Structure 1
């Protein structure tokens, strides 16, 4: 029986597998047309699996050599040439059960002779595929690419039909910086799974085992992983092997436990890699996370380019964003502003959740907001005065406050939750009822109107009757509450004052 595989490359015989006909056709067309091209995708995105599939489809027609430069980083030119020939021979032996004698090259240019030798021996044109290409030493890379380019112009003589360079990020920067002559390559990007592909993956398990994912669970897997293959398989694996093992139906309750472990217990390699890369651009990452919609995407900005090439951020209609919600939640938790000691002021020994729960079990969020304002009046001078805060600081402050009370009633507060085509800043789930909260800071009148329209749209999408818009402002004179009703929808608007006197006398 097959399973969800959490590390690649994926073996079709033992793992659930998604075909990628469009990108496969594009790659095969490049090879047939004697094209040299690059392939990029973040780690655990399925690129090695795709390339292995390409090998299987063309190995009978072409002499296909798929090697990796992962361990080539510290090699001299002599050791590089010796190692690449050894790897050629090993891969040919493994795939074709042939021992081919290749004379060890003395110079980089001898690669021309090797290509002709391989063709003469096997009678096949050569397709060379190189993974982890960016690991190669810069000087050696430059020499190697010059030779490949020179072969390209006479590729039908040397019988090197195609060269495929594979990397975790776009190789354009490397090729531009280190080998400007190698401007001959097409580029092919391996995308994340589509929603249909995610559902296809899950249905393979259902058909083979009889264990069913609730429709809501499928939606949650899709939204939280956003089609990232490693995360998608990881969530599904945890559900079927741990949280719902032996059960007929995988429910939303099972998923909540999986999500909790991913956020607070597990050390997931995909998430860890994203966090480590984000830490190298901490200042920019803070702005992207906590000044949403304010950082324009520009691939020529080296800082943005670094985060983009490593799969941390994406281009969302010209704005830098974190598309994968699981990544966003992990980065949010890692980079959230520290407000140590504030819990003691948010909820004292006299504060409980009881006054904020109505007789029907629903949350009296407006009453809880009044308690929040009392807290801000007491601590606002410390929290907000004299600091250049990102919008997310206010969001995290409210998130932490609400969490103290809501979680005491076995409810949960979720930051940046997917709703249709957008995300709500905070979503409270308590006793199977949801409460939507959109947060803005220091906005203009036009932004205010747009924000009201946005939260109303979210309310409609969720099929609810009310929502909350919280606006932090350093220009208003006092706190204010407004209730707007339109077409059966209630919009609760709270203005939170942030301009306080100097905190020097506040303890």
Structure 2
């Protein structure tokens, strides 16, 4: 029985799969190969790049005009800037992969010969030259995980490929495709012997084009999920299909992971007579986040990088980005963290990532938080909004300021501590905490759902030199509550101005209302 794939390249005999060669403009790719072009393929991790390259390799070799070879260079990353060690690994890896995938003979001996008789800075070029000269077919070489290499090693590889370029196709590969997460502009090229970084263009200015592998569209998501139905008879309800698309926005790994969790891990989903419904999709989503599966954990790990923080921190706070260089914005798009919408505006790539980012950042305050007795629950286990409000004020008065230092992003530390508190509230009770944030909105919106209770709240910050955000906050909360179809909610204003009284003195609450008359519990913290 086939299943949804979440590890490595797809294998049609084992996995539900969309045809890999249908994921990109195959006519354009074949035309560039016919024109002896060198180009790049890049996309976020676990989106199907390797599967596409392997499928193209198989097609080219089956047609017989080209000799196509795939090689993953990731093992050379361990050599760092030791060019001799790295080039030995790269040359031997290419030789081994060519023998395994195409049956090419004598390449191991050729690799040993060129490594013994050439400087490391020309060994790869010599190997490819001699191989191409003895081959009866033009060579098409796919080099995967190239952006895992760094510094002098990466510079040497790119310059050796550039150095042999004019001898193609008789004495050098007809086409070389470099594949990785990053586009060439963001390759980590920095020669230790030079004062500054070497730009990607100067080291590899023979690149014809950069192709980006996109996510699934809604129709492709449905097609993939329907393969399971055709094979097992188990259906996804129409609402569940929409929910998968909404949560993932077609990110291939997320689509497969949600579906695998529902159909092969959750007890109800393993019953093929039980339709996959929205509740199962939501439970699967929560399981993936709570388990911190590798894909999401790797993504969250990027939050530590300064150039990622410079964009994500103001986004979470709802502030304008300011002067962020274009290459830093493009870097987050290449990673798959963000996408452009509405003609260029940046937003988090999908709702699952939008959930993971603040949860990850709030994990520090959550771990530092003391045990809190759930005084917000009634005797029957229901969440009472008034009791929760009182518990929050007591928590913030006693622990709020002390926990701010545990938040990794200072600009939004109060938001993260509050979210950690609310995550404790919903944990174990089957509740959810939904977060909405975007550039330039000047706020973060939270929606807490627990049993029959839905609570909408808005977080604002009173910053130095700014006016009291109360009026703006009430108007914005009015709009948010209208979208949730609620007639009441919370507005929490964190005062971050210097020289203000201690929290225990300034913390207060009052009842007010929005411009349209919705009831508001206002907290000034």
Normalised by the length of structure 1, the TM-score is 0.77
Indicate if the aligned counterparts of 1:295 and 1:319 stay in contact, CA closer than 8 A: no
Decide whether the 8 Å contact of 2:47 with 2:252 is kept in 1.
Answer: yes
Does residue 211 of the first structure (1) align with residue 241 of the second (2)? no
| Residues 131 and 166 in structure 1, CA contact (< 8 A), matched pair in contact too | yes
Indicate the larger mover: 223-232 or 63-72: 223-232
Mapping of residues 75-90 of structure 1, within 5 Å: 83-90=89-96
Aligned to 2:512: 482
**Residues of 2 paired with 1:249 and 1:297: CA distance?**
49
Mark the CA change 1:11 to 1:298 in structure 2 (over 3 Å): closer, same or farther: farther
1:244-393 matches, within 5 Å, as 244-247=269-272, 248-264=274-290, 266-281=291-306, 284=310, 287-288=313-314, 290-296=316-322, 298-299=324-325, 309-313=334-338, 322-336=348-362, 338=365, 351-354=375-378, 365=385, 368-369=388-389, 372-373=392-393, 376=396, 392-393=412-413
Tell me the residue number matched to 2:202: 180
**Residues 1:125 and 2:138 are matched in the alignment:** yes
**Contact kept in structure 1, 2:457 and 2:490, CA below 8 Å:** yes
Alignment of 1:190-201 (within 5 A): 190-201=213-224
Gaps of 5+ in 2: 190-197, 501-505
Q: 1:57 to 1:454 in 2, by over 3 A?
A: farther
State the secondary structure of the residue aligned to 1:71.
Answer: helix
Shift of 1:15: 0.8
Query: Out of 64, 70, 88, which is 1:66 matched to?
Result: 70
2:36–2:174 contact (8 Å) kept in structure 1? yes
Bigger mean CA offset, 168-177 vs 1-10: 168-177
Q: 2:103 aligns with which of 91, 97, 103?
A: 97
How many Å apart are 1:237 and its aligned residue?
A: 0.8
Moved more, 239-248 or 166-175: 166-175
In 1: Cα distance, 2:181 partner to 2:283 partner: 31
Greater CA drift, 281-290 or 267-276? 281-290
3-state secondary structure, aligned to 1:160: coil
- Size of the alignment, in residue pairs? 481
Partner of 1:438: 458
Checking the alignment, whether the CA contact within 8 Å between 2:376 and 2:388 is kept in structure 1 is no
- Secondary structure in 2 aligned to 1:91? helix
| Partner Cα separation in structure 1 for residue 409 and residue 75 of structure 2 | 44
Contact 2:317 2:444 in 1 (8 A): no
**In structure 2, how many angstroms separate the alpha carbons of the residues matched to 1:278 and 1:8?**
24
Quick one: which of 170, 176, 200 aligns to 2:183?
Answer: 170
Contact kept, 8 Å, 1:482 with 1:493, in 2: the verdict is yes
Alignment match of 1:242 (pick from 254, 265, 271): 265
> Using the alignment, how far apart are the partners of 2:163 and 2:396 within structure 1?
68
Structure 1 unaligned segments of length 5 or more: list them.
499-507
Distance 1:141 1:389 in 2: 33
1:213 Cα deviation from its structure 2 partner: 2.0
CA contact (8 A) 2:475 2:514 kept: no
Q: CA deviation at 1:31?
A: 2.1
Q: Which residue of 2 aligns with 1:497?
A: 524
**Hey, what's the Cα distance between the residues in 1 that align with 2:296 and 2:425?**
29
Deviation of 1:64 after TM superposition, in Å, equals 0.9
CA distance in 2, matches of 1:390, 1:297: 19
What is the Cα-based RMSD across aligned positions, in Å?
4.3
Mark the CA change 1:117 to 1:491 in structure 2 (over 3 Å): closer, same or farther.
same
**TM-score when normalising by structure 2:** 0.75
Contact 1:130 1:164 in 2 (8 A): yes
Contact 2:461 2:494 in 1 (8 A): yes
Deviation at 1:325, TM superposition (A): 3.4
Deviations, residues 154-179 of structure 1 (Å, cap 9, x unaligned): 53554632111112222323364477
Tell me how far apart the structure 2 counterparts of residues 21 and 319 of structure 1 sit (CA, whole Å). 25
Equivalent of residue 155 in structure 2, options 134, 138, 142: 142
Pick closer, same or farther for the CA change 1:57–1:384 going to 2, 3 Å: closer
